[in-house]
Amino acid sequence: MALTVGEGGSRVEKPAAKPVESKPVESKPEPKATATPTPAPAPAPTPDKFSAQTATPQPPVQLTPTPTAGAPEKGNPAINVDGGKGATYQKIPGQPFIQGAGDSGAVHPNDVSQGGIGDCYFMSSLATVAQQKPETIQNMIRKNDDGTYTVSLYEKRPWYKPFGPEFTKKEVTVTPDLPVRDGNPVFAQTGDAAGDQRELWVGLIEKAYAQEHGSYKSIVGGYGSNAMEEITGKSSSTYSPGNLTIQQLADMHQKGLGITASSAADYKLGPIDLPDTVSKDPLYKNGTLVANHEYWVSNVDVKNNKVELRNPWGFEPPVTLTMDEFKRAFRQLSTNPLN
């Protein structure tokens, strides 16, 4: 029998049982679907006040059908994942950035809410960048005269090419049509709203990312370290949480680094669930954490020895752990300088 890693946390439509993902790390729920598998000390930052998004989807909007609905052409990558079944490309009335009530700016982590696809690592990367350096997100999207959008991503030089720049800027042009079913996006959800206008930046960037990689299926599973590099064009670093102190983690956050964290893997041997962190740790057994999932670090409190993490599902409340719990429950920490 083959040794497999189970999958956790993917979203689709209703806040039901916790969801899905494949590859190293996961996806999200329907508002949940299911799937198979050391510088000088600095004071802890004052966290921005994030309001959890509602698990109830926004009311359906009046959509404009796309003639080539679902076709992988004209900037429309193939909708080829289970969470996208029955979806077609339709134009959602909106604009890239809308500042919501109580938000500190037009780009805010509250805008990020993962849909029915296993790209939690990418959604968490967008959320941490939105918190730490929102202008990076705003500079990624340019509206064109023909109504399309150009999204800037970065391609890392392959290991087998020893010379040349480490990152090459890639401009991906996409239409404002997104995969929709029953009047709502099936993948990245829209952010804030102003009248009948929806905030589209997360969906536009996710679509460009899928187009650059070949299809929506091709972006299922991954790590924040790689995703942040494609967003910023800067090299990421990875750490074993067990080797970090609370002060080191606080210093990283205080310096403005983007930070994501990969939860434990759920190992299975065929139908047998093997003894591992997920099967033993109460944080996974009681549903506090989702296995094979990517979270982002929103605050570090040195005084109280606490780490605050957020789930890219958007409507989930923050998860606050002691540093010891964080070390025990997470397998990888990824950081990116953003600057």
pTM: 0.83
- The three-point CA angle 309-210-81 to 5° equals 85
Q: Which of 62, 79, 61, 81 is nearest to 70 (CA)?
A: 79
Report the alpha-carbon distance of residue 95 to residue 195 in Å, rounded. Answer: 12
Report the alpha-carbon distance of residue 118 to residue 70 in Å, rounded. Answer: 19
Q: All domains of the chain, ordered by start, with CATH? A: 3-48+225-336 (3.90.70.10), 64-113+133-219 (no CATH)
How does pLDDT run along the chain (339 residues), one tens digit per residue?
A: 444 444 444 433 333 333 334 344 454 444 433 333 333 333 333 334 444 343 334 444 445 454 443 334 456 999 999 999 999 999 999 999 999 988 999 999 999 999 999 999 999 999 999 999 999 999 999 999 999 999 999 999 988 888 888 999 999 999 999 999 998 999 999 999 999 999 999 999 999 999 999 999 999 999 999 999 999 999 999 999 999 999 999 999 999 999 999 999 999 888 888 999 999 999 999 999 999 999 999 999 999 999 999 999 988 899 999 999 999 999 999 999 998
Please list, in sequence order, all residues whose beta carbon lies within 8 angstroms of the beta carbon of residue 51, skipping any fewer than 6 positions away: 102, 110
Q: What pLDDT is attached to residue 74?
A: 58
- The three-point CA angle 178-310-47 to 5° equals 115
- Which position has the token pair 């991503």? 153
Report the alpha-carbon distance of residue 304 to residue 276 in Å, rounded. Answer: 29
Extract the tokens encoding 123: 């959604």
Q: Which of 203, 181, 177, 179 is nearest to 190 (CA)?
A: 203
Q: Report CA 94 to chain centroid distance, whole Å.
A: 21
